[in-house]
Structure 1
């Protein structure tokens, strides 16, 4: 058997990670390459969505902390989010010190919905690296009962 190049290993690992994450989600139409954003209609629990276009962004089970703040007020720290694009990295002075941050944008409407932590320069802040903060002024919670009612198929 032939050894894989490091690029192939990285690509395979990325595909595996995406596959594991999307096993929790169902696409609108998996046969259509332009199907649009993923919908979190098959999860147990609450879903956080973009306030502008209602694109699903995260599930409540992935919240790490609700005690974050941003210029608009509250922010929640999530382990993972979906349906976002990540902007350019830049160093920003946050309340807890200097961090390498990238704004995250909703794929549905292009609005900034929060940020992704790249590097944290303070040892005590390293747990944030690779995590996502959603601005609560730009993302709202849809309760599970609303999700069930919205996506329930009627005969």
Structure 2
């Protein structure tokens, strides 16, 4: 049987939940609907990319848009979708192909930066990248 709580305790608990919600609303977490942890894709055979550090599933090969991207540490892949990441704060970055508003993405399993998300492209010819994700190949296991 649960202990009875006072109205003051209920108000304090509600305020704590509001504070946590306010803090976490700055990020997007792609996990399963029940919130039980990282998504697992049982129906995908071998063509998956996982975090090199902890093994958490991040993407499937079918979602690759391009393998011709580069980061400061080598190859990177552009994906339509990734899972099991948190999206950090948006910032403007200048790259070889122009100025973008991007957000770093972090593995939900270990917190490692695994790439970035294109939030907005300032060059008209680069608009196709908006809403897509780049995973740095050196941070990934799998598929190849």
Please tell me the TM-score bracket, short chain as reference: 0.7 to 0.9
Unmatched tracts of structure 2, length 5 or more: 1-29
Structure with bigger gyration radius: 2
How big is each residue's C-alpha offset from its partner over 1:115-145, in whole Å with a ceiling of 9 and x where there is no partner? 00011001110000000000001112247xx
In structure 1, what is the Cα distance between the partners aligned to 2:117 and 2:63?
14
Structure 1 length normalisation: TM-score?
0.69
After superposition, the CA RMSD in angstroms is 2.0
Aligned mates of 2:110, 2:66 — CA distance in 1: 26
Q: Which residue of 2 aligns with 1:120?
A: 121
Higher relative contact order (CA 8 A, sep 6+): 2
Give the SS at the match of 1:137.
Answer: helix
Question: 4+ residue runs of structure 1 moved beyond 2 angstroms?
Answer: none
What is the match of residue 71 of structure 1? 72
Q: Deviations over 1:64-122 (max 9, x none)?
A: 00000001100000000000000000000011100001000000000000000011001
TM-score computed with the length of structure 2 as normaliser: 0.74
